[in-house]
């Protein structure tokens, strides 16, 4: 009897060690399945939009380059939360990857808001010189300190205004227009300066806001206007080109540090190739989808004097320079120096 009790006492610690050891091992395997690493990537847009197709291309390339040992699962349509939520989840390490506009990153680094100001860039080539050069590299360095890392910069197209009230041809046409804008300070201040009445809402709520009259209009690239069927609830599309729009593809720094150097290299290679694919796609579709929108019945117009809009937005530079100091002034100067 005594011998049996001693055997039981010895067995209990062994069972506890096995149990807790098993739990620890399970934690180490989070994000893995069948010997492969699985990463989750979230976007705001529909599967057809260039941003989401760029993410899908990244997943395809990485699977091929890693011989199936690295897998990215893409969740479109804000299934993993809106931009703000995804950014915070990536910082915490609960989401691996995601896309965001640069302006949404101003909560971590206030200077980031500058990149979303209206009429900042001369043209698309100027914008890409900004992000593909030293400034883009410095953005990455600043974000790494906040738990985020830049993989690449997708081209999300040029933002245009749609509405139900009237065509936008001059800044006066924007006066007190109830316009849905992203939930970023730069977008809110930008359209206040241009004379509109901005209403900040998540992208997932735009269609409903237009449908029910919460907002009279919205502003987004042509691809998002088309793929999200805003033409069903909007009469006019005005080609204001007020913001040349970049979407940053980020990875959680916590996720990054769990990867081996060879895995990190494969991800960076795949991201560069996905960036090239997405940018070419976005440029092509910006032209093609305008024709499709005409066929859907939306009335399209160009603005008469874009310099009038740019002049009205110009005071934002001084506002941001006073608020953020010499660093902001220097950033504006560096951006302007890349004009040609």
Domains in the chain, CATH or no CATH each: 26-337 (3.40.190.170)
Assign 114 a pLDDT band (cuts: 50, 70, 90): very high
**pLDDT over threshold 70, residue 170:** yes
Q: Taken in order 208, 213, 214, 218, is the CA torsion positive or negative?
A: positive
Q: How big is the chain by its Cα radius of gyration, in Å? A: 24
Query: 322, exposed or middle or buried, with CB in 10 Å at 0-12, 13-18, 19+?
Result: exposed
| Rounded Cα gap, residues 176 and 188, in angstroms | 13
**pLDDT over threshold 90, residue 313:** yes
Looking from the CA of 207 toward its CB, the CA atoms found within 13 Å total 13
Beta strand 299-302 with 217-221 is unpaired
| Rounded Cα gap, residues 328 and 317, in angstroms | 8
Assign 35 a pLDDT band (cuts: 50, 70, 90): confident
Please name which of 246, 242, 247 lies closest in space to residue 314, comparing C-alpha atoms: 242
Assign 31 a pLDDT band (cuts: 50, 70, 90): low
**pLDDT over threshold 50, residue 25:** no
Q: pLDDT value at position 20?
A: 40
Instruction: Indicate the pTM of the whole model.
Output: 0.88
Assign 33 a pLDDT band (cuts: 50, 70, 90): low
Please name which of 156, 306, 160 lies closest in space to residue 236, comparing C-alpha atoms: 160
H or E stretch including 219? strand 217-221
Summarize pLDDT for 129-146 with one digit per residue, the tens: 999 999 999 999 999 999
First to last CA, the chain: 93
| Rounded Cα gap, residues 235 and 257, in angstroms | 49
Assign 36 a pLDDT band (cuts: 50, 70, 90): very high
Three-state secondary structure call for residue 260: coil
């Amino acid at each position: 009897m005594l011998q049996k009790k001693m055997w039981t006492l010895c067995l209990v610690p062994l069972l506890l060690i096995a149990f807790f050891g098993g739990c620890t091992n399970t934690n180490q395997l989070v994000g893995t399945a069948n010997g492969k690493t699985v990463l989750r990537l979230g976007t705001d847009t529909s599967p057809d939009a260039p941003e989401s197709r760029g993410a899908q291309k990244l997943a395809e390339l990485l699977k091929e380059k890693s011989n199936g040992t690295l897998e990215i699962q893409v969740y479109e349509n804000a299934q993993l939360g809106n931009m703000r939520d995804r950014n915070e989840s990536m910082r915490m390490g609960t989401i691996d990857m995601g896309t965001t506009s640069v302006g949404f990153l101003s909560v971590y680094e206030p200077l980031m808001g500058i990149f979303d100001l209206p009429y900042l860039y001369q043209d698309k080539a100027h914008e890409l010189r900004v992000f593909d050069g030293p400034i883009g590299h410095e953005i990455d360095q600043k974000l790494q300190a906040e738990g985020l890392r830049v993989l690449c910069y997708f081209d999300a197209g040029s933002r245009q205004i749609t509405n139900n009230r009237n065509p936008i041809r001059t800044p006066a046409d924007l006066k007190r227009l109830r316009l849905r804008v992203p939930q970023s300070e730069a977008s809110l201040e930008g359209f206040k300066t241009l004379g509109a009445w901005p209403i900040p809402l998540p992208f997932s709520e735009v269609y409903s806001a237009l449908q029910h009259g919460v907002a009279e209009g919205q502003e987004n690239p042509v691809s998002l206007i088309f793929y999200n069927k805003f033409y069903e609830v909007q009469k006019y599309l005005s080609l204001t080109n007020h913001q040349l729009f970049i979407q940053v593809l980020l990875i959680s720094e916590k996720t990054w540090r769990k990867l081996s150097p060879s895995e990190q290299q494969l991800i960076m290679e795949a991201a560069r190739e996905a960036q090239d694919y997405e940018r070419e796609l976005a440029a092509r579709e910006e032209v093609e989808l305008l024709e499709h929108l005409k066929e859907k019945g939306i009335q399209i117009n160009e603005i008469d004097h874009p310099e009038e809009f740019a002049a009205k937005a110009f005071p934002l530079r001084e506002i941001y320079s006073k608020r953020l100091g010499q660093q902001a002034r220097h950033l504006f100067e560096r951006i302007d120096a890349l004009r040609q």
